């Protein structure tokens, strides 16, 4: 399935011009962490954060997150940038923010979730179909993995107000949180309220019969 990102046509005194949808959203200080976190996506987010800080170091930035996570090193780069810019950052979880996506969400100054979105946290994993190499190299990989576990555990403890042991208990396996559960655990601050549903009047017998008659097949 291909995706289409429309351009925006704007009219000025010098005529019409086109800009990308993402540029238009960024002009309103909205940026997006969508999909896998890797070197490319981290670089794009970091540049946007630094640019918006230069534009106004006091005005809030909104970061929308829907991500399964990804590279730990790239995630750390985004996290450190979020914490180093002077602008307050509002994070919004859409759909699912998992692994390092959940860590970035929890790093926001204000953290909001859409009502049906979810978070997932776990210990860092070794990517790949299997481990190969000498005993020394494998030992170094495990040691590095445990260091990242300690760092991530400390970050989540600081962001949630939970103890490190409480964090390790949850990250020992994939632990999922609904918006309500995330708020109780300290990963989120609030859930965004949806518009009230419009009351729909049930169709009467005549209306249902008319619809049935108009159906091309039964």
Q: Tell me, what's the pLDDT at 1? A: 45
User: pTM of the prediction?
Assistant: 0.83
Relative to beta strand 15-20, strand 190-191 is unpaired
Q: What is the pLDDT of residue 16?
A: 74
Using the predicted structure, report yes or no on whether residue 24 has a pLDDT greater than 80: yes
State pLDDT tens for residues 67-89: 999 999 999 999 999 999 999 99
Report whether pLDDT(107) > 60.
Answer: yes
Question: What pLDDT score does 138 carry?
Answer: 73
pLDDT by residue (tens digit) across 181-210? 999 999 999 999 988 877 777 766 666 666
The secondary structure of 112-127 as a DSSP string is EE-TT-EEEE------
- Which residue numbers are catalytic? 99, 122
User: In which band, very low, low, confident or very high, does the pLDDT at 37 lie, cut at 50, 70 and 90?
Assistant: very high
Decide if 43 contacts 71 (C-beta within 8 A).
Answer: no
Q: For residue 168, how many other CB atoms are within 10 A of its CB?
A: 16
* Percent of the chain residues topping a pLDDT of 70: 84
The phi, psi pair for 79, rounded to 5°, reads -60, -50
């Amino acid at each position: 399935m291909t995706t289409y990102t429309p351009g925006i046509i704007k009219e000025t005194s010098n005529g019409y011009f086109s800009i990308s949808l993402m540029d238009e959203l960024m002009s309103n200080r909205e940026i997006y962490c969508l999909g896998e976190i890797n070197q490319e996506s981290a670089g794009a987010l970091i540049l946007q954060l630094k640019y918006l800080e230069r534009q106004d170091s006091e005005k809030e930035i909104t970061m929308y997150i829907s991500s399964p996570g990804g590279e730990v090193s790239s995630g750390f780069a985004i996290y450190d940038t979020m914490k180093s810019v002077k602008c307050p950052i509002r994070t919004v979880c859409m759909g699912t923010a998992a692994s390092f996506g959940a860590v970035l969400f929890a790093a926001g100054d204000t953290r909001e979730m859409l009502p049906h979105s979810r978070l997932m946290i776990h210990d860092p994993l070794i990517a790949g179909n299997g481990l190969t190499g000498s005993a020394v190299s494998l030992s170094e990989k495990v040691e590095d993995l445990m260091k990242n576990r300690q760092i991530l555990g400390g970050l989540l403890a600081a962001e949630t107000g939970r103890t490190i042991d409480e964090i390790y208990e949850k990250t020992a396996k994939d632990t999922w949180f609904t918006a309500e559960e995330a708020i109780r655990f300290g990963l989120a601050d609030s859930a965004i309220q949806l518009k009230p549903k419009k009351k729909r009047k049930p169709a009467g017998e005549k209306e249902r019969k008319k619809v049935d008659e108009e159906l091309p097949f039964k």
